[in-house]
């Protein structure tokens, strides 16, 4: 089950960043002052082959894999998002639905709507995928 990590650095003064995590997902959500979700990054399959599905109201969906860098600890230690394989959106949706019951209703409802929209788009590919649209348009 996803649980909230409460000590999250807030880098953008106009947005509140929230972080939820379990052994499969990392979810970062940026909330506008009115409480609406303006963007998210959903990292999934963290232990094996981590990838990230992102969405923002300005850019829409994108999908990338996480390159953890070299195995030698003194080089390339910062993980990077790089183009990679397509997103198994149906499986991500099912797993998120199963693991997110403990999330705040607004965040969970928004995420499920966006993931449903992603399912309608089909198998999401690496890089930018769709136009942004309003968060409540789906």
Q: Within 10 A of 125 (CB to CB), how many other CB atoms are there?
A: 16
Residue ranges per domain, the chain? Answer: 3-69+78-129
Distance CA(61)–CA(132), nearest Å, equals: 7
- Please tell me the predicted confidence (pLDDT) of residue 129: 52
- Please tell me the predicted confidence (pLDDT) of residue 134: 41
Alpha-carbon Rg for the chain, nearest whole angstrom, is 15
Mean pLDDT split into 10-residue runs, the chain, 138 residues? 91 90 96 93 90 91 79 63 80 95 90 90 58 42
- Please tell me the predicted confidence (pLDDT) of residue 120: 79
């Amino acid at each position: 089950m996803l649980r909230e990590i409460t000590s999250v650095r807030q880098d953008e003064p106009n947005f509140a960043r929230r972080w939820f995590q379990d052994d499969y997902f990392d979810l970062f959500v940026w909330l506008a002052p009115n409480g609406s979700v303006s963007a998210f990054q959903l990292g999934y399959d963290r232990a094996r082959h981590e990838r990230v599905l992102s969405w923002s109201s300005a850019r829409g969906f994108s999908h990338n894999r996480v390159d953890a860098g070299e195995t030698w600890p003194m080089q390339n230690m910062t993980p990077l998002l790089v183009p990679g394989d397509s997103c198994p959106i149906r499986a991500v949706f099912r797993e998120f639905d199963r693991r997110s019951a403990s999330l705040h209703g607004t965040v969970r409802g928004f995420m499920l709507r966006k993931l449903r929209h992603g399912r309608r788009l089909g198998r999401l590919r690496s890089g930018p995928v769709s136009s942004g649209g309003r968060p409540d348009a789906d």
